[in-house]
Structure 1
Amino acid sequence: KILNSKYLVLPLALAGALYGNNIVMAAEDPVEINYSKDSLTLEFNQEADHYEVYKNGGLIYSGKDEKFVDKDIDSGQNYKVGIFKKNKLDDIIEVKTNKEEKDNQSTRVLNQEDDIDLLEQQINEGYLETLSTTNFVKLKWSNIIDDDGFYEIYRDEKKIGETNGLTFIDKNVKEGQRYRYEVLAQVEVDETKKNQIDLELKENKLDLTEEQKRELYQSRGVMTKIVDIPIKNSDELKGTTNFFGEKVTKDSNNDVSTLALPKSEEYAFIYRTFIPQKSVMDPYSAYWLAGDNRSGFDPYSNKFRTESNVNVGFWMPYMTHFPETGQSHKCYTSACVAPYAWTKQASTDGIKLTKDLVTTTKMQWRVNHDVGIPFSSMYPNINYYYNATLTKSSLSITGSHDKAPAHEFYMFPASGSTSYVTIERWWVDSSWDFGMLMPGAPQDYFNFSM
């Protein structure tokens, strides 16, 4: 998981020495990306005899012109650019961007009363684009508010650097590998909200350490991108990679090969909340609350507090929702074994799907989650939301969730394959995290694309 606590900011000289093996300073991008409202322009800065541009596995440009304009743009653009010298493939550059005119899908009114509201809006409306070659990956993102002005950069959940700019270049990559990049920003609530949180803690008799309070005051924003490093050969240039990392190629008739996505192009998006511990102390009574007794994240687990399962399919397009809740138990002791003091089950009415678009080429939907512990209205609800846009070649999801309990969000091929893509995960370590559900407690905001 991404660490919940902020690293101490290193002096620039030390940071350069510590992370220097991962960063290169490029004088000029091999491909420059420029946007207008209705088109996207690629400008090639590497000398070549000619260039080839492929989109979703199909050739859309071949020529000597150092500029290509694509007027057929949608929610997410994925290109592969072939650089040819002396009639041989010299390099492949892959471009992925989710920068676009955003649809007004937000499920919350953002009034920007403070930095937390601004962070939410910037994560929802922002973008993270990548330019990858066989030798390096460049990340570029929209401006995000951050308390110390330094963004932390993670690759596959390990910190690889930090920067006060809006770009980062990682040269420690290998051909054919898939990486998950994350750009992290963090913001604290203002003094007024800190005082409100402190009052809630006092009223609920929750005694936290200063370090725990700092975590409670802080909100996180994460921009995430899945990046596939190209392999320098013509098959790689002409093919594409599906959501689950499998290579897809097309034959001479432009038909997708048997390695492609399932013909029905069906997917399941499963979001779960769960309590990792076997039990947690109930702050509102003398009992204990049963947890889900899980040692870690598990995309196939049937142990959860709540689950939202959205199934979509492009062939004869459909979108269905399967919400579910687990039984809740109050226990006499921390061992939490039957007979229980009290057993109830929360309603699924608080897990709602809104369908915005269901077609053979594009899906858009929203899920809102507002579900409480079913024993009494005094317990705070678990809240999250997300907005999703899916095409046959791109996925972008923005959302927000409480910082308790644990959250996990995955995409599966509905064919029953063992493959999956992790969209978002959040872990809690102790029972004090119950305080993260208090009214006014900051949330975690995420923007995922691939």
Structure 2
Amino acid sequence: MYNYSIEQVENGEIVRVIALQTSAYAEQRNIENPLQFLVMSTIVTKMKIVLSWEEISKVDEYNVYRNGDFMATVKTNHFTDYKFSLDESYVYTILSKRALAKSEETLSKSKSVLATVFGVLNPVSNKEKAATEEFKVSKLIGKPNTLLIPVLEKQRRTNVNRWKFRYTTFLKEKWVINPNIVAMDHYFKGDDRNFDPEGKGFRTRVDIELTYDKPKTPLTFTKEIGQTVSYNRAKRFRQKAVASYDGIKLVRLDHGEQEVGFLLTHSVGNPLVKAPEIDYDVRAVMQRDGTFDITGFHDQAPHHEVYMSRGSKENWMPIQLAESKGLAWMSEITAWQYWRYSNFE
């Protein structure tokens, strides 16, 4: 990400400022996550906020939201907002979908056929949803009045010395029915909660902390796995166990003195029965000036929640919240949900 400030000067005075954020076009792409190198440009002026993004292959339209409120459906790869406050921050979200058969992913066409069959056989789903990839791109834009201060008048930004990142998967229900209807383990104990960064129950939880103000900028990593408990059809206890931690891995990515990132991969299964694993992948870059860019993709089950915190006292900021579509959606033949969240402040 590169931030630019363009100033119009007349008679030695600055009469107009334009703030721009963009990135270079990447020749090499990550086929597994088409959003990772997606070029997105943001333009902020006193009169308008413009979002422009690189087209996602085979996507026909995009739905644009601002702070959770629907704004427009566009068939082009840009959106302009004329009605906003100069003293308010905004989160713009661009949602789109694509048939799995049109995906860039390897073997996507054969996977699409299997996903369609899955949708027909699964009574709580349908063949269209099972074979549809979902994309979510979010941009946090700081207060325009702050972004549009002339460069020589701006105060130096305070460095962010502490970054925290939390990724949790959980089961919202109190009781979860096993998709395998002939299994002896008919029910699993759920976590009985909704989205909450401090939620007590979970299937898995990963915490990552980056500390810029310590020697060598340490990146710490902790992982927890909740106990899996099963019951028979009469909801009588059958067995319990904890899955292996081996499928949760973190790789540190050093991009420069003021920019550190990581690659987090997650594949954790059910320790009691043969079942698909909870899979997700996250790539993050956190700059010391407070700029971040996080991309990921995950199964569409169970619930996934991702939060981030900047600074020693700042509260958790929701980055990605995704509701489960049912345990059967953890199957490798169903489509992924892709997401990206970055900021311009």
Normalised-by-shorter TM-score class: 0.7 to 0.9
Task: Show the counterpart of 2:174.
Answer: 278
Residues 280 and 235 (structure 1 numbering): CA distance in 2 closer, same or farther, change over 3 Å? Answer: same
Out of 58, 82, 87, which is 1:171 matched to?
A: 82
Distance 1:375 1:391 in 2: 42
Out of 208, 213, 218, which is 2:132 matched to?
A: 218
> 1:93-150 deviations in whole A, cap 9, x for unaligned?
222224454787x5xxx3xxxxxxxxx5532221222101233210011121244x21
| Secondary structure at the counterpart of residue 407 of structure 1 | strand
Q: How many residues align?
A: 330
For structure 1, the residue ranges without an aligned partner over 5 or more in a row are 1-75, 111-119, 241-248, 251-255
Distance 2:72 2:175 in 1: 37
| Secondary structure at the counterpart of residue 231 of structure 1 | helix
Residues 92 and 281 (structure 1 numbering): CA distance in 2 closer, same or farther, change over 3 Å? Answer: same
Task: Show the counterpart of 2:261.
Answer: 364
Distance 1:436 1:124 in 2: 23
- What is the identity, as a one-letter code, of the residue corresponding to 1:355? R
- What's the % identity of the aligned pairs? 22
| Secondary structure at the counterpart of residue 115 of structure 2 | helix
Give 1:233 shift.
9.9
> 2:14, 2:150 within 8 Å by CA — same for their partners in 1?
no
- What is the identity, as a one-letter code, of the residue corresponding to 2:223? P
> 1:135, 1:174 within 8 Å by CA — same for their partners in 2?
no
Residues 359 and 348 (structure 1 numbering): CA distance in 2 closer, same or farther, change over 3 Å? Answer: farther
Out of 187, 196, 199, which is 1:298 matched to?
A: 196
> 1:102, 1:125 within 8 Å by CA — same for their partners in 2?
no
Out of 185, 188, 193, which is 1:289 matched to?
A: 188
Distance 2:146 2:209 in 1: 36
Task: Show the counterpart of 1:344.
Answer: 241
For structure 2, the residue ranges without an aligned partner over 5 or more in a row are 102-108
Task: Show the counterpart of 2:328.
Answer: 435
Distance 2:27 2:305 in 1: 25
- What is the identity, as a one-letter code, of the residue corresponding to 1:342? Q
Task: Show the counterpart of 2:227.
Answer: 327
> 1:345-399 deviations in whole A, cap 9, x for unaligned?
11221110011217641112100000011112x2100100011122123211222
Q: Report 1:26-425 matches (<5 A).
A: 76-85=1-10, 89-99=14-24, 101=26, 106=30, 110=31, 120-147=32-59, 149-190=60-101, 192-200=110-118, 206-208=122-124, 212-231=126-145, 249-250=155-156, 260-261=158-159, 265-284=161-180, 285-286=183-184, 287-295=186-194, 297-315=195-213, 316=215, 317-332=217-232, 340-357=237-254, 360-376=257-273, 378-393=274-289, 394-413=291-310, 415=312, 417-425=313-321
Give 1:90 shift.
3.5
> 1:186, 1:220 within 8 Å by CA — same for their partners in 2?
yes
> 1:214-252 deviations in whole A, cap 9, x for unaligned?
221111122221112322798686677xxxxxxxx33xx
Higher RCO (CA < 8 A, seq sep 6+): 2
Distance 1:354 1:80 in 2: 34
Give 1:261 shift.
4.6
| Secondary structure at the counterpart of residue 111 of structure 2 | helix
Residues 304 and 226 (structure 1 numbering): CA distance in 2 closer, same or farther, change over 3 Å? Answer: same
- What is the identity, as a one-letter code, of the residue corresponding to 1:94? A
Task: Show the counterpart of 1:11.
Answer: none
Give 1:92 shift.
3.4
> 1:265-300 deviations in whole A, cap 9, x for unaligned?
0111111111111121012324211111113x2122
- What is the identity, as a one-letter code, of the residue corresponding to 2:199? S
Distance 2:317 2:10 in 1: 37
Residues 206 and 166 (structure 1 numbering): CA distance in 2 closer, same or farther, change over 3 Å? Answer: closer
Residues 146 and 179 (structure 1 numbering): CA distance in 2 closer, same or farther, change over 3 Å? Answer: farther
> 1:99, 1:128 within 8 Å by CA — same for their partners in 2?
no
Distance 1:233 1:363 in 2: 24
> 1:137-180 deviations in whole A, cap 9, x for unaligned?
10011121244x21211212222112221211011211121111
- What is the identity, as a one-letter code, of the residue corresponding to 1:375? L
Distance 1:371 1:92 in 2: 50
| Secondary structure at the counterpart of residue 123 of structure 1 | coil
Distance 1:437 1:351 in 2: 16
Distance 2:78 2:152 in 1: 28
419-428 vs 270-279, which deviates more? Answer: 419-428
Residues 133 and 198 (structure 1 numbering): CA distance in 2 closer, same or farther, change over 3 Å? Answer: closer
Residues 300 and 88 (structure 1 numbering): CA distance in 2 closer, same or farther, change over 3 Å? Answer: farther
